[in-house]
Structure 1
Amino acid sequence: MSRPQYLRQSVINQMLDGIARGQLTSPLPSQAALARLYHISRTTVRHTLDYLKQRGIVARRAGRLCIARAPTDDEGFMPLPCPAHVAQFEQALHALIRQRQLRPGDNINEQQLVQASGMAAAAVRDLLLRFSRYGLLENAGRGEWQMRTLEPAYAENLCELREMLEMHALRRFFSLPPEDGRWATVRALLARHRQLHVEMSSDYCRFAQLDRQLHALILSAADNPFFDRTLEIVAVIFQFHCQWDGQNLARRTVVAVEDHMALLLAMVNRNEREALRELRAHLGHARQTLTSALDGRARCP
């Protein structure tokens, strides 16, 4: 997708979201005001308004553009694999979470993120909207975004989605030909996990990187970019909410490493049934960790 097309689709999604949330009201601001609000050109504003008019979401009344109806959930554009600069920004946001600089309830200022990343404001806002759809962020208005606290029922839904996608990907992994280089990566990851297990008492924080590598390897077999984007966000949500529960962190990490080793060993032995069983057990432990973290936060004053 070309950058202008990506930008237009991003702004359309943002305006639809603004209308749905009541942040854009009738009559709509002028084209110049919308251009300033979304940090885009008037040409992009006109393309966006044309799209909304064609679908009957806005209409001209008494010389002013007004909201004719509320957008439905399926209008707009699906989040596609984003350009490289947006993916790099995602990594920067993930780093803030991993470095424990963002907590549930904290606010992020949109313009600060624009300045820190050097990206266009529309691209930054599109990324924030993408995370908001998965319950990590909430638009607080006026360029502020709040890190949300996950509700237990929503967490359960995320766990179910993660298990469904990863189990499917693992089944696809076992259809890879023997000469595929990813089988060698499985053996290398098992060796690295065994080394970490020995050195765990001094360096258990190294597990996060191995965890990302293992799950990314499994997902690669699905060869589906929508899986990748969805599970990347789900993984960040898991990490964001679990990292603040410091109780038994070392023990939980040991259990996770041992889960990984059991899964990797089954994969090395090409035992699909055992590997599926071990993955399901590992995801069950991750679900327990997330539930425990949310319960602990709920008990805090």
Structure 2
Amino acid sequence: MDVGDQLPAETVLADKMDVSRTIVRNALQKLDTDNLIQWEGRNKTLIRKPLAEHRLEQAENTLSTEQMEQKFFEWILRFDVPAGTSLNVAQLSRKFGVPVHVLQEFLAGLSRLGLVERRPRGGWSLLGFTSEFAVELSEFRMVLELNAVRQLLTLPPEHEIWQKLEALKQEHEELKGGLEERYHDFSLLDEKFHAAINSVVKNRFVLEAQKLIKLIFHYHYMWDKRDELERNAAAIDEHLEWINAMLARDKAKSEAAALKHLRRSKETLLQSLRGHKFA
């Protein structure tokens, strides 16, 4: 553009650059602050050419969407905010180091899972991670993982899952042998074990729910430290019982072991909530 030219309307700029009008308006405000344009009503006139120093430095170490999701769930699971709290999107975007539009898209996804809701006059409200939510999620988890077990047991001997289970069995036995020194390592092994079982199900409708289940059920091993050694020891034995039943292709024992572990995991999660006075 030449000095004296008029900038297009905000809607035109948004369409041209494939961004929201909010982003365009923020950029125009920056140009106005830097005295690069003269903004009078709807007229925005270029009054001088931008120089290198007018460019914003590109943010470094911006979180990926997955990292942002983890930080958000950690924030909820650590009970830093009560149910019903209004979410300040601009503030949270700075807290998690992500653009506002990325956080908005993430919250829209969470609204389908019942963790947040859009307020009638705009903005978001945290519905909260309550005991009722934990019970509902636990019951849904049982349905999904029992279905995964049933599908897993129909797979042929050459399928990669059988090698994964043999390797997981060895990892569990090694961790059990040195648990007193390494019991903090269980949360990652737990996540790996359940991910392997669920990986045999290829269903697009399950993927988003699995993400939430993984973050909540496996993260609580990290933030609830009470009786951690004893809980992890019991969980390892339950995993091994479950793995051995699947390797033996025993459907009845596999389902029984899965239910035993998933019910105990549900009770552990609820106990954590009671310990934090959220039940």
Q: TM-score under structure 1 normalisation?
A: 0.62
Give the equivalent residue in structure 2 for 1:255: 234
Give the equivalent residue in structure 1 for 2:69: 93
SS for the counterpart of 2:70 is helix
CA separation of 1:251 and 1:208: change in aligned 2, threshold 3 A: same
Amino acid at match of 1:93: E
Which residue of the other structure, out of 248, 254, 261, is the alignment partner of 1:275? 254
The structure with more radius of gyration: 2
Which residue of the other structure, out of 238, 241, 244, is the alignment partner of 1:265? 244
Structure 1: give runs of 5+ residues left out of the alignment. Answer: 1-30, 43-86
CA separation of 1:135 and 1:299: change in aligned 2, threshold 3 A: closer
**In the TM superposition, what is the alpha-carbon distance from 1:198 to its structure 2 partner?**
1.0
Q: Are residue 148 (structure 1) and residue 128 (structure 2) matched?
A: yes
Q: 1:241 touches 1:290 (CA, 8 Å); kept in 2?
A: yes
* Whole-Å separation in 2 of the counterparts to 1:146 and 1:286: 24
Give the equivalent residue in structure 2 for 1:130: 109
CA separation of 1:286 and 1:190: change in aligned 2, threshold 3 A: same
Q: 1:242 touches 1:293 (CA, 8 Å); kept in 2?
A: no
CA separation of 1:299 and 1:89: change in aligned 2, threshold 3 A: closer
SS for the counterpart of 1:197 is helix
Q: 2:187 touches 2:218 (CA, 8 Å); kept in 1?
A: no
* Whole-Å separation in 2 of the counterparts to 1:178 and 1:135: 40
CA separation of 1:197 and 1:97: change in aligned 2, threshold 3 A: farther
Q: Could you give the per-residue CA deviations for residues 47-93 of structure 1, whole angstroms, max 9, x where no partner exists?
A: xxxxxxxxxxxxxxxxxxxxxxxxxxxxxxxxxxxxxxxx9413443
Aligned pair count reads 223
Give the equivalent residue in structure 2 for 1:230: 209
Amino acid at match of 1:123: V
Give the equivalent residue in structure 1 for 2:179: 200
Q: Hey, which bits of structure 1, 4+ residues long, moved more than 4 A?
A: 95-102, 106-109, 112-120, 137-147, 239-244
Which residue of the other structure, out of 135, 139, 149, is the alignment partner of 1:170? 149
Superposition map of 1:1-301 within 5 A: 40-41=19-20, 88-94=64-70, 97=73, 102-105=78-81, 110-111=89-90, 114=93, 120-137=99-116, 146=126, 148-150=128-130, 152-239=131-218, 243-298=222-277
Query: In percent, how many aligned pairs have the same letter?
Result: 27
Amino acid at match of 2:66: E
* Whole-Å separation in 1 of the counterparts to 2:88 and 2:182: 34
Q: 2:220 touches 2:269 (CA, 8 Å); kept in 1?
A: yes
* Whole-Å separation in 1 of the counterparts to 2:222 and 2:97: 28
CA separation of 1:147 and 1:105: change in aligned 2, threshold 3 A: farther
Q: TM-score under structure 2 normalisation?
A: 0.66
> Which moves more between the two structures, 240-249 or 213-222?
240-249
Amino acid at match of 2:240: M
Amino acid at match of 1:148: G
Structure 2: give runs of 5+ residues left out of the alignment. Answer: 1-9, 22-62
Q: 1:105 touches 1:147 (CA, 8 Å); kept in 2?
A: no
Q: 1:266 touches 1:275 (CA, 8 Å); kept in 2?
A: yes
Amino acid at match of 2:128: R
Q: 2:175 touches 2:182 (CA, 8 Å); kept in 1?
A: yes
C-alpha RMSD of matched pairs (Å): 3.6
CA separation of 1:142 and 1:244: change in aligned 2, threshold 3 A: farther
